[in-house]
């Protein structure tokens, strides 16, 4: 299945070096871990892969290094049904890297070296402006330079292309960017840094959503881990429950949600149906290890939902 509606994802590509530990090391402590693996990741690439595998008609705007892993990542993106003509190898740069610890609670902590992702400049975005203008939705995250994200959002907004922002990793954002956003999808930590509201329950989620609506954002989706998501459209909020699964690794769970959610919206599903579809995709992802290796294909999501 492939939607006729076009999606553009703009964002990061990383090589993830993942190590599983009993617990995160304390300062000064060295721990021996298990299951070391290098997997393809990066929030932008993970979301693009989630969209590609769940059936979107998708192009990706990104930068990788002029190195072996950059070439292998780009080849894999093509196998994941993504148009990569706007994914460039940057001379004298290495592909972005993420160093990731996973603990036995399936939580992770991540350190990033931007590498070629830092070269995704406003000029680079301008070179691919027509791709954005021809789309129905643009999906953005925050692992590439903010001026370029604003540039892309402006191009989209001027052409009535829906701007979807996954504000990850958490940081404060200029109002200029938030005013261009149609749909925002923070997790609880990201919602706190954008709104100042600590989210313990649905009432807090509604309050955080209302702050974001106050900035002109029509649809707010706050992801709350295994509880599911708080979906608020023009101030009308509801919890869309998550699916209970045995989680072993939550890397890329949020990315999987975002890619699948936008794909479903572009197929004409309501935000509620799209959130349920994306909750299913994320539930499958957390039962597997790694970033992109954990992202499910459409057939797997449909089969999972058919059992619910
Ligand atoms: O969201 C998960 C991603 O965050 C990882 O794949 C890692 O690359 C970091 O960007």
Answer yes or no: is 1 within a domain: no
Tens of pLDDT, residue by residue over 123-166, are 999 999 999 999 999 999 999 999 999 999 999 999 999 999 99
- Our count of domains for the chain comes to 1
| Residue 43: pLDDT band with limits 50, 70, 90 | very high
Answer yes or no: is 173 within a domain: yes
Distance from the alpha carbon of residue 1 to the mean position of ligand 1, in angstroms: 27
The protein residue with its alpha carbon nearest to ligand 1, atom 9, reads 42
- Mean pLDDT over each residue of the chain, to the nearest integer: 96
Range of the domain at 286: 6-306
Answer yes or no: is 145 within a domain: yes
The finding on whether 46 has its CB within 6 A of some atom of ligand 1 is yes
CATH, residue 146: 3.40.1190.20
Residue 278 CA to residue 301 CA, distance in Å, equals: 9
Residue 302 CA to residue 234 CA, distance in Å, equals: 29
The finding on whether 252 has its CB within 6 A of some atom of ligand 1 is yes
**Choosing from 16, 92, 255, 302, which is the catalytic residue?**
255
Residues 6+ apart with CB under 8 A from 40: 13, 14, 15, 16, 72, 73, 76, 291, 292, 293
Using the atom order of ligand 1, give the atom closest to the CA of residue 98. Answer: 8
Q: Which two tokens mark 248? A: 């072993």
Using CA atoms, how far residue 101 sits from 51, 53, 177, 251, 289, in Å, is 26, 26, 31, 10, 12
Distance from the alpha carbon of residue 16 to the mean position of ligand 1, in angstroms: 7
The finding on whether 16 has its CB within 6 A of some atom of ligand 1 is yes
Q: Which two tokens mark 298? A: 């459409």
- Catalytic residue list contains 255: yes
Relative orientation angle of helices 202-213 and 188-195, to the nearest 10 degrees: 50
Is the pTM of the predicted complex or chain greater than 0.85?
Answer: yes
The finding on whether 128 has its CB within 6 A of some atom of ligand 1 is no
Higher pLDDT, 1 or 185: 185
Tens of pLDDT, residue by residue over 210-267, are 999 999 999 999 999 989 999 999 889 999 999 999 988 889 999 999 999 999 999 9
């Amino acid at each position: 299945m492939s939607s006729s509606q076009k999606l553009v994802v703009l964002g990061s590509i990383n090589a993830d070096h993942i190590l599983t530990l009993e617990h995160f090391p304390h300062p000064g402590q060295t721990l021996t871990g298990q299951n070391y693996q290098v997997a393809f990741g990066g929030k932008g690439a993970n979301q693009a892969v989630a969209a590609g595998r769940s059936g979107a008609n998708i192009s990706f705007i990104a930068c990788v290094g002029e190195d072996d892993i950059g070439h292998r990542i780009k080849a894999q993106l093509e196998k994941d049904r993504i148009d990569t003509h706007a994914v460039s190898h940057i001379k004298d740069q290495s592909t972005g890297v993420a160093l990731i610890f996973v603990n036995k609670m399936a939580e992770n902590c991540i350190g990033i070296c931007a590498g070629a992702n830092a070269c995704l400049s406003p000029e680079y975005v301008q070179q691919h402006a027509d791709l954005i203008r021809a789309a129905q939705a643009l999906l953005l995250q925050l692992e590439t330079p903010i001026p370029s994200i604003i540039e892309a959002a402006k191009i989209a907004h001027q052409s009535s292309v829906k701007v979807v922002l996954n504000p990850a990793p958490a940081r404060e954002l200029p109002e200029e960017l938030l005013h261009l956003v149609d749909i925002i999808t923070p997790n609880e930590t990201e919602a706190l840094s954008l709104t100042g509201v600590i989210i313990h329950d649905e009432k807090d989620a509604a309050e955080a959503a209302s702050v974001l609506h106050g900035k002109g954002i029509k649809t707010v989706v706050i992801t709350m881990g295994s509880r599911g998501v708080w979906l608020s459209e023009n101030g009308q909020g509801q919890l869309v429950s998550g699916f209970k699964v045995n989680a072993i690794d939550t890397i890329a769970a949020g990315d999987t949600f975002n890619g699948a959610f936008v794909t479903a919206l572009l197929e004409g599903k309501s935000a509620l149906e799209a959130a349920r579809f994306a909750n299913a995709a994320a539930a499958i992802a957390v039962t597997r290890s790694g970033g992109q290796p954990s992202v499910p294909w459409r057939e797997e999501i449909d089969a999972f939902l058919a059992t619910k």
